[in-house]
Every structure is written in C-alpha cells, then in structure tokens.
C-alpha cells in the first residue's frame, strides 16, 4: 500500500486548492487520510472505488503519482 504525504500531492498547487480537492476525494471515498506525527498520509482506497467504477482507481493513482513528483 503506497502512502503519500498530503503536501506532496499537487505540485505547485495552492494549499487551499489542494486541501479542497483532497477533501472532495476523501468525502467521495477515493482516498483515506490518516495522521502520522505532524503530517497526514493519503492512501488510495482501491477496493471501494474499483467495485463502484472499474478503472477509476487506477487512473486516479496514476494522476496522483504524476502530480506528486517534483
């Protein structure tokens, strides 16, 4: 299971925009957001979205990984 720190997602995106998008994904059940010390880690919830919308989880993971690289 790959975990990514919230601040690593979205590249140069404004913090408020990143927060809004991550909240939307969390509320939709696409990602899980867990505390880890002073930061929060995101995990893609693969089973739930895959069951509801096949192919979406894979696409979301690819987008997240593409935008999290410096």
CATH classification of the domain holding 38: 1.10.10.10
Residue 41: the pLDDT is 92
pLDDT given for residue 38 in this prediction: 92
pLDDT tens per residue across span 41-68: 998 887 765 566 666 666 666 676 666 5
pLDDT of residue 10: 83
**Structural domain boundaries, residue 36:** 3-68
Work out how many domains the chain is built from and give that number. Answer: 1
C-alpha distance from residue 12 to each of 2, 29, 49, 68 (Å): 21, 25, 27, 10
Residue 35 in this model has a pLDDT that exceeds 80: yes
Q: How confident is the model at residue 37 (pLDDT cuts 50, 70, 90)?
A: very high
Arithmetic mean of pLDDT over the chain: 79
């Amino acid at each position: 299971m790959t975990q990514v720190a919230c601040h690593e997602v979205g590249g140069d995106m404004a913090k408020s925009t990143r927060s809004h998008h991550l909240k939307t994904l969390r509320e939709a059940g696409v990602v899980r957001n867990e505390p880890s010390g002073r930061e929060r880690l995101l995990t893609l919830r693969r089973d739930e979205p895959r069951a509801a919308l096949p192919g979406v989880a894979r696409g979301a993971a690819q987008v997240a990984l593409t935008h999290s690289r410096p």
